């Protein structure tokens, strides 16, 4: 990494670009406990190491970021969902309209970038629980009234969160495979699908 930073700084300087040392941060995604790694420097100045970093709206931490990102997204979407509570309570709007609004304003933002997440059963359960609770509120099906999740999904025309994420992943891999074999995105090891 040190070598790449040095080459980047030298190449940038040739065209008149300067890397801002205070704005440049280092995040090490650790697979093992490596405590005595030399600090990465830029022109002799050590760069600040951070525990997590937000990039293009997604949170990345030292474990790769999925759990932190999912937790943050659910928190943001809970606020967005509650801001629309007047719409969910409105008797003049049809259930179909409310579900379309939920899919476009809440679910799509929640699952943004989900095709690149490393989903575990716990993470998937957390996402699905949030979606189910939102659908039950829209459907006005609150405790003690019960409805099975399968029946809820059928009545609201929803896929499970796991199926939705796989659908997005297949869309991403289809988009990637449509590029020429020489394109760099075809070489990305993170796009390899594993069921």
What would the pLDDT profile of 105-137 be if each residue is shown by its tens digit? 898 888 887 777 777 888 889 999 999 989 988
Confidence class of residue 161 from pLDDT cuts 50, 70 and 90? confident
- The rounded distance, in Å, linking the Cα atoms of 71 and 57 is 13
pTM for the predicted model, two decimal places: 0.67
| More confident call, 182 vs 195 | 182
Given the structure tokens 């606020």, which residue do they identify?
79
Which of the residue ranges 58-62, 97-101, 170-174, 177-181 has the most confident prediction, judged by mean pLDDT?
97-101
> What value does the mean pLDDT take over residues 134-141?
84
Which pLDDT belongs to residue 191? 44
pLDDT digit string, tens, across residues 73-93: 889 899 989 999 999 999 899
- Supply the angle between the helices 121-138 and 95-102 in degrees, to the nearest 10: 150
- Per 3-state DSSP, the chain is made up of helix, strand and coil in percentages (nearest 5) of 55, 10, 40
Q: Write down how long the chain is.
A: 195
Closest CA to 19 of 5, 36, 30: 5
């Amino acid at each position: 990494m040190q070598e790449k930073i040095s080459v980047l700084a030298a190449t940038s300087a040739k065209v008149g670009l300067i890397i801002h040392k205070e704005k440049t941060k280092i995040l090490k995604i650790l697979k093992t406990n490596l405590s005595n790694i030399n600090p990465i420097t830029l022109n002799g100045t050590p760069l600040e190491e951070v525990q997590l970093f937000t990039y293009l709206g997604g949170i990345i931490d030292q474990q790769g970021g999925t759990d932190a990102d999912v937790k943050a997204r659910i928190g943001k979407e809970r606020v967005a969902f509650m801001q629309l509570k007047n719409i969910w309570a409105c008797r003049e709007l049809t259930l179909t309209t409310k579900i379309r609004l939920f899919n476009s304003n809440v679910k799509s933002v929640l699952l943004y970038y989900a095709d690149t997440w490393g989903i575990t059963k716990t993470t998937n359960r957390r996402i699905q629980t949030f979606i189910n609770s939102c659908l039950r509120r829209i459907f006005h099906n609150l405790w003690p009234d019960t409805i099975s999740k399968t029946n809820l999904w059928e009545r609201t025309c929803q896929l499970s969160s796991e199926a939705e994420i796989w659908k997005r992943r297949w869309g991403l891999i289809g988009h990637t495979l449509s590029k020429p074999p020489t394109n760099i995105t075809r070489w990305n090891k993170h796009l390899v699908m594993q069921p």
